[in-house]
Amino acid sequence: MPRPIFRAVARHAGSVVRDAMTEQRDLPPGWRVARLGDVCSLRAESVQPAKNSDLRYVGLEHMDSGNSSLIRWGSAEDVSSAKSRFCAGDVLYGKLRPYLDKAAFADFDGMCSTDILVLKIDESIAPQFSAYLLHSNAFLDYAVKTTQGVNHPRTSWASITKFAFPLPPLPEQRAIAPSRGRCGRCKRHRRRGGARRRWSASARRR
């Protein structure tokens, strides 16, 4: 597909996703409403760093807010307690302080902090699109509302699995996902700030 046409498809499909999430508009043919638990499952595999020294380690400190890519990591030597295993093609989601907006697509095998949920992606959803979805305003607001705890607010897989969203066919998903990387840093910062303020307000009411 020529680049200008590809960009136009990405812009149009992306706007349909945003509109459907925020205004409950009718979906185009071939689209459907899905829940996060319909398209991915939790990979709950424990790994001991001492016995897996070849694996890279990803902590929350290695995940950049609003960025769907992993660009840095540590090693098994950096940690000692049991961690969660992830595989290439999984999506990592930071459940601690979800207003920080940390979700990334993993393109290598490794281990991660237990404050990171490892999502195994179904064939019906492109991994990059699922990472895009977890950075959306609708999901960010949803996750923030499901947090428990004041000093260390966390969401959970049981809570976010119920998140409903419009799921386009795979070609549109692949067109939408790359456009997510072009979001401006200032826009992401404003979005996270708004989510954090909403969480703080809800925490005070508890």
Q: What is the pLDDT of residues 81-101, one digit of tens each?
A: 999 999 999 999 999 999 999
Is the residue at 199 inside a domain?
A: no
Report the alpha-carbon distance of residue 72 to residue 110 in Å, rounded. Answer: 12
Pairing of strands 83-86, 110-112: antiparallel
pLDDT score at 1: 42
pLDDT over 70 (residue 32): yes
Predicted confidence band of residue 10 (pLDDT cuts 50, 70, 90):
very low
pLDDT over 70 (residue 173): yes
Report the alpha-carbon distance of residue 168 to residue 154 in Å, rounded. Answer: 29
Is the residue at 61 inside a domain?
A: yes
Structurally, how many domains does the chain consist of?
A: 1
pLDDT over 70 (residue 23): no
pLDDT in tens, 117-163: 999 999 999 988 998 899 999 999 999 999 998 889 999 999 999 99
What residue numbers bound the domain in which 152 lies? 3-194
pLDDT over 60 (residue 22): no
The CATH number for 38's domain is 3.90.220.20
Label residues 125-135 b or e (16+ Cβ within 10 Å = b): bbbbbbbbbbb
pLDDT score at 183: 45
> For the ranges 26-30, 45-49, 80-84, 103-107, which has the lowest average pLDDT?
26-30
Bridge partners, 104 (sequence order): 92
pLDDT score at 184: 39
Is the residue at 204 inside a domain?
A: no
Is the residue at 153 inside a domain?
A: yes
Pairing of strands 74-75, 56-58: antiparallel
Is the residue at 113 inside a domain?
A: yes
Q: Please state, as a whole number, how many other Cβ atoms lie within 10 Å of the Cβ of residue 159.
A: 18
Q: Map residue 167 onto helix, strand or coil.
A: strand
Task: Report CA-CA distances (Å) from 25 to 22, 94, 140, 164.
Answer: 8, 30, 20, 14
pLDDT score at 80: 92
